Structure 1
């Protein structure tokens, strides 16, 4: 598994992500953390912490090239002068370059690499059989949470044995490094991921395993199979410490969900 966070994120939610991972995931699953300017206090045999400034040269190259570009920093190219995360590529490329680096590091060592957003809590023990069930196989390059619009990329499982996994990583890097992201409708990682998925499907290079809901645009993560073990604290849910009852569109039987607020 791989994730990333900065100092403030580590204090606000990253520690909970790490501690619940270490407590409730199988011990043979390794977690790789790309830490930005933060000393991670947790230690474990299956926890590897990397200094993202030292190990992600493509991220540094991207920041040097586009760090002052307004349309890479959340300012809308629509000309209204408003900030919107849809165009905050500088923020989201921390994730992109961590994913592509982790793909290259773990290919040949593991069969599956799971990206998990660091604002995710594991509330119930995760069985190995569950991870095996969700693992993409054969022509499936990745497992992801599909929605009515672009995917929810809080969880993405990558098939490290896929013949075009390196090509996927190359495209993810290059869309940002080349500046192509400035010509795409939205530039956050989920939208760019979706573009690559669509292109690779159309070209016949890969298929994908969907675990979301093509009829919704809401909080699809906790309403999928993942909700039985995980809670994704998107946006204001971080301060609340839990997703809310109104977020649930399916009935959940796990004890974690019995005390959700309205």
Structure 2
């Protein structure tokens, strides 16, 4: 299989973690894997044939249209529509997460035909162990599966999503993802960040038997599940202040274990 990775970051993010993400990918991933990055107002100074940087201002006109329409909308910029005193909550920060949404949909269209799987990878990740190509093939969505994602209790963790570029509905998925934001429909949902909207589309497509999806997480898990999945053997996800610490904490991987029956603990142990 042929794999392409996509990510995005702003200037501060590039310096703090984005550069490290790219470098570790180049060092630890198979040299057959390519990467698309959509840097926000920052120049990527890593010159490597496998990495292509695309300017969002030029390549993502739909993103610019969305931002122009919603830059002054408090309910697209972190304000809770029910408790309006809450003004800095990621659950209603569609403006912030729109960079990711439109980078994914653009990359789907660019990579379709040349690659089998497009992998969204959060830029605040670092690959610490060599990833075998057979691992990427194993966890990739196949046949009737449109995407592979980290499910958990509630909406999924979308720090990693693998998209099946051979699926007949992949372009319809991309169109739907975009239109929910461009039409303003995102304001009608309980939450409007990318992971919640992705989850709504997954459920919608499953209800209508339009597509199937591959679950890489577990309904038993919650919170910081990236490193508790099979991905944790190779990649660390530096969520929140872990970006400053430079690594996840031991309790991140173990905190949920005591709640499970013993036979499940054995299954989930790495």
Same-fold status (TM-score > 0.5): yes
Aligned twin of 1:239: 244
Distance 1:235 1:10 in 2: 15
RMSD: 0.8
Structure 1 position 154 matched with structure 2 position 165 = no
SS in 1 for 2:54: strand
Distance 2:44 2:74 in 1: 32
TM-aligned CA deviation for residue 79 of structure 1 = 3.1
Distance 1:236 1:35 in 2: 22
Aligned twin of 1:124: 129
TM-aligned CA deviation for residue 103 of structure 1 = 0.1
Distance 1:164 1:80 in 2: 38
Distance 1:213 1:245 in 2: 19
Aligned twin of 2:22: 18
SS in 2 for 1:248: helix
Q: Which of 175, 185, 193 is 2:190 aligned to?
A: 185
Deviates more, 1:51-60 or 1:242-251: 242-251
Aligned twin of 2:44: 40
Which deviations, in whole Å up to 9, do the C-alpha atoms of 1:52-86 show, x marking residues without a partner? 11100000000111111000000110133212100
Moved over 6 A (4+): none
Q: Which of 87, 91, 101 is 2:92 aligned to?
A: 87
Aligned twin of 2:7: 3
Q: Which of 196, 199, 208 is 2:204 aligned to?
A: 199
- Unmatched 5+ stretches in structure 2: 255-267
Distance 2:123 2:10 in 1: 10
Distance 1:216 1:78 in 2: 28
SS in 1 for 2:147: strand
TM-aligned CA deviation for residue 251 of structure 1 = 4.7
Distance 1:217 1:159 in 2: 25
Q: Aligned residues, how many? A: 252
Distance 1:251 1:185 in 2: 34
Distance 1:142 1:62 in 2: 25
Which deviations, in whole Å up to 9, do the C-alpha atoms of 1:11-56 show, x marking residues without a partner? 0100110110111111110010001110111111111011111100
TM-score between both structures, scaled by the size of structure 2? 0.92
Aligned twin of 1:61: 65
Which deviations, in whole Å up to 9, do the C-alpha atoms of 1:183-209 show, x marking residues without a partner? 100000000000000000001100000
Q: Which of 164, 168, 171 is 1:166 aligned to?
A: 171
Q: Which of 114, 117, 121 is 1:112 aligned to?
A: 117
TM-score between both structures, scaled by the size of structure 1? 0.95
TM-aligned CA deviation for residue 165 of structure 1 = 0.3
Distance 2:22 2:56 in 1: 17
Distance 2:47 2:94 in 1: 31
Structure 1 position 50 matched with structure 2 position 42 = no
SS in 1 for 2:37: strand
